[in-house]
Amino acid sequence: MSVRAIPTLLKVGFAEAAAYRAEMVVWVLSTTMPLVMMLLWTSIAEVSPVQGAAGAQWGSSAFVGYFLCVFIVRQLVSAWAAWEINYEVRQGTLALRLLRPLHPLIHYACSNLAYLPLRTLVTLPVAIFLVVTHREALSGDWRHWLLFPVAVLGAWLINFLVNVSAGALAFTVESSLRVMDLWLALFFVFSGYLVPLEFFPAWLREVADWLPWRYVLALPVELMTGRAPFEVALGLLARQLAWVLGLGTVAAVLWGRGVTKFQAFGG
């Protein structure tokens, strides 16, 4: 029954996204920092190529390709369920959702995914510009493009599960959205959003390889740009899967305990 309801939920979510398209455009404009960083780094590279890890040279074209890929991936993997859950817990409207046969988390997932077509449409001009003008900055290995959708799905799942975990804290913690603020602050540093991870000191790159933020953004971008060798990318995907499973467990535990407490107090 839940599976049959998913297409309807996606249609409803898409209609909502279309109705609030102006709000979505504002949100997209708020994620244009990679374009600002692109201008900054290309200005530096025009003076002299920047050397990354293992002596790799980054010219202006490489920076353009990298940060445009960052912008595209950011639109594809975003989730905001924490704010929805937090609001419904505070208002008590989650009680009505819990009475329905469909699990609330399926609704939140469909609500977030329904915005994907419009966000993809927004990024389409950027993707076309990237392919036409800086194709050399993209991977020429078809295997990278085969892994790319898998990495994007894993990145979205990590984002969504962190949102669910943070949202579930609203059952017991008044300022649960502070967790998302902290998550986003660390995301800006360790995901490659502002600075490619190649420019980190070796010891910090090793730390970043074990943190979740690398797998939310940097991994899909490195597949697009071909900067992760195929064999290395497979290992990184395995780590991404481990984070998905681990965060899925955390989200399930926090949600289960939170809902039990919510119902016990008459929510």
Q: Answer with the residue of higher pLDDT: 62 or 17.
A: 62
* Report for 60-64, 122-126, 222-226, 260-264: range of highest mean pLDDT: 222-226
Q: How confident is the model at residue 248 (pLDDT cuts 50, 70, 90)?
A: very high
What are residue 50's DSSP bridge partners? 58
CA distance 121 to 103: 29
Q: Are 63 and 36 in contact (CB under 8 A)?
A: no
Local structure of residue 51 (DSSP, 8 states):
E
The model's pLDDT over 51-90, given as tens digits with 9 standing for 90+, comes to 777 667 888 889 999 999 999 999 999 998 999 999 999 8
The residue ranking higher by pLDDT, 18 or 147, is: 147
Confidence tier at 47 by pLDDT (50, 70, 90): confident
The residue assigned the tokens 């926090």 is: 254
pLDDT at residue 1, as a whole number: 46
How many C-beta atoms surround the C-beta of residue 105 within 10 A?
A: 18
The whole-number pLDDT of residue 25 equals 60
Give every CB contact of residue 79 below 8 A, 6+ residues apart in sequence.
112, 156, 159, 160, 163
Tokens matching residue 56: 């790799």
| Calpha distance 224→152 (Å, rounded) | 11
What does the mean pLDDT of the chain come to?
Answer: 87
Q: What is the pLDDT of residue 49?
A: 78
What average pLDDT score do residues 128-149 get?
94
Per-residue model confidence as pLDDT tens digits over 31-43? 778 888 998 889 8
Cβ-based burial of 130 (10 A; exposed 0-12, middle 13-18, buried ≥19): buried
